[in-house]
Structures are given as structure tokens and as C-alpha cells.
Amino acid sequence: MIQLVWINRNHLTDLSQINRMFGTVVVGVGIAGLARIRDLMNPMPASPSEHLKLLGFVSRRSFGNINEAKQISLEDALSSKEIHAAFISTENKSHEEAIRMFLEAGKHVLVEYPMALSAKAAHELWEMAEQKGKVLHVEHIELLTEEYKQLKKEVAGKDLVKGTLHFTGSVLDETKAGFPAFSGIARLTWLIDLFGDLTVTSATREEQKDKNYSRMTVHFQTANKRPLTWVEERGPGMRREKKINFCFTSGCLENFPQAPRSAVGLFMQDQNLFAKKLLGQADRNLTATRFLVGTSKQFSW
């Protein structure tokens, strides 16, 4: 059974936060980390992001400065009283350790998904953030894409008969990215957001290690007993692509609907949401779709 952690609280804006600035640090400078540095240094005018001030970045590699952002040590980032929040943009396997360190140091945390490589660790981190009174925000930019927003509009109010979400992509190092059910958590979140609570009925995985090929197939049932299939397929040279086939009583949706280009970048949208939480303008326990995803037990193969 896929569990949704739904926290419904009356939330009031903390007026003392309105004019506050939050010192931030970016941990990891891959593609996402560089995007975070860019957006923190160039916040959207008149947005919550103007309350975030980049004070440096942390990396195992030596850079010196990146676009006037200075490199600092992990120790300095953890101990600095001027740094209030950390943006974790490292490889998946190191997310859990980084979150723990920064929460323990009394910092708010924004982390790329998946936040951890096990449901148990994720629940422990949420509890830790709650105990520390800190915001723990899991980035989910795939839910912020115009493509997805338009898809959600198309699906809304329709009665599902059956459906499939099939993802393909290049080879991942699972020791760093995690098992497909975690590295591909964005697709699972899509299905839950679109169709509600899901129950796993079966799951299989095919591997051809000599060809670096992997295919995970998970079969679900919706609350109305409708079948849904999620496929994660990876191999050398495979194009990163999502395919859908959702059939409703009114007909089938086999292609993504046309969507306009967003005027605000995905990372900036996510950054604004995080800043709203820090300012008390949004419930700190809500994600972009108002839920947190976990699994009650691991898939067995």
C-alpha cells in the first residue's frame, strides 16, 4: 500500500519573518547545484526568493568562486550562524547524510528528490525536522512542469479504466542513484497525484547486466480497483522520455497535451515555494502537491 502522509494544520503567517533574510548554502555543484546558485544569485523580483541570500557553496572539488559565489568548507557551512538553510544537490546516496548533518546543525533544508534511498530513512528525517522545528523541503520539479500541469487538467474528473506510465532513460549507477523505485520516485508521485492512493499488486524486474539493461514493471490498483502500470526502463543510448496510455470511460489519452512554456523556471518555482515556507507563508509540511510520498514496505523481487 502506498501511504500518503497528509498533515492538515491551520497555518498563520509569522509576521516576524516578513522582512527576514535567510543565509543559504548550496551543497553540490552538478547541473542542479549550478542552477540553484544561478537562481539564488538572481532571485525573481518581488518574489519570496528575495529573502534568500547565497553565502557560499560546498563541493568536494576545488572551484574557488563560481559567478561571485565563494566556495566554503562543509565544516564552515554547518557551524556558521549566518547560514540558516542548505540546498542539497548532491548524488542521491548522500542526501540522507547531508540532511541529517544540516538538521542537526539547526539549518532548514531543501533537498533534491529522492530525499533518501529507503522509506525508513525518509520517515526518520521528517521526524527529525519536526523535532528540530526546521523546514525540510523535498524538491519535485517534475510536478511543476507545464507539461504535467496540463496533463493533470486533462485527467481531472475522468473515470479511469486502465493506464500505463512508461519511462525510458540512460544507464544509472544504482550505488549512487538508488534502486529504480527510488531513483524514479517522480513517476510514482505522478501516478499518485493523478489517481489517488495505489496498492501494489505485483512487481518484477528484468536485468541484463552484460548489456547494462534494466526494466522494472510495477502493477497497481487504484481505490476503485482500476489497473495502473509503471515501467522504468534503462539502457545504453536510451532516450530520456515518458510515454503515457491512460484510458478512461470517455476515451484514451496516448500523448501529452500541448503545454505553454512557463515564464518562471522550474528551480525558481521550487525555490519560491521553499522561501514561502521559511517566511511562514506556506505550511512547511506541504510539497508542491500537498503530500509526501512513502512506502509502507519495500518491493520484493
pLDDT score for 285: 65
Q: Label residue 130 left, alpha or beta by phi (over 0 means left) and psi (-120 to 50 means alpha).
A: alpha
Does residue 86 have a known ligand-binding role? no
- Is the backbone peptide bond immediately before 43 cis, with ω within 30 degrees of 0? no
> Which DSSP helix (H) or strand (E) runs through 204?
strand 198-208
Residues 6+ apart with CB under 8 A from 263: none
Phi/psi of residue 78, each to 5°?
Answer: -70, -35
Distance CA 57, CA 106 (A): 18
Amino acid at 12: L
Q: Is 240 annotated as a binding residue?
A: no
Per the annotation, does 59 bind a ligand? yes
Is 100 annotated to bind ligand? Answer: no
Is 169 annotated among the ligand-binding residues? no
pLDDT given at position 3: 42
Return the pLDDT at 288: 40
Q: Is 77 annotated as a binding residue?
A: no
Which conformational region is residue 259 in: left (phi greater than 0), alpha (psi within -120 to 50 degrees), or beta? beta
SS3 191: helix
Q: 28: which 3 cell numbers?
A: 553540490
- What is the chain's length? 301
Reading the block at residue 191, the C-alpha cell is 501516478
Comparing C-alpha atoms, which of 170, 163, 25 is closest to residue 98?
Answer: 25
Q: Residue 273 contacts by C-beta under 8 Å, 6 or more apart in sequence? A: 137, 282, 288
What whole-number distance in Å separates Cα of residue 249 and Cα of residue 9? Answer: 36
Per-residue pLDDT of the chain (301 residues), as tens digits, is 444 433 333 344 455 556 789 999 999 999 999 999 999 999 999 999 999 999 999 999 998 888 889 999 999 999 999 999 999 999 999 999 999 999 999 999 999 999 999 889 999 999 999 999 999 999 988 899 999 999 999 999 999 999 999 999 999 999 989 899 889 988 999 999 999 999 999 999 999 999 999 999 999 999 999 999 999 999 999 999 999 999 999 999 999 999 988 899 999 999 999 999 999 998 776 554 333 333 333 343 4
Domains of the chain: 19-141+264-298 (3.40.50.720), 145-253 (3.30.360.10)
The helix, strand and coil proportions of the chain, stated in percent and rounded to the nearest 5, come to 35, 30, 40
Q: What is the pLDDT of residue 92?
A: 93
Establish whether 61 is an annotated binding residue. Answer: yes
DSSP string for residues in 58-98: E-SS--SEETTEEB--HHHHHH-SS--EEEE-S-GGGHHHH
Q: Look at the block and give the residue holding cell 500500500.
A: 1
Residue 175: all three cell numbers together: 550505488
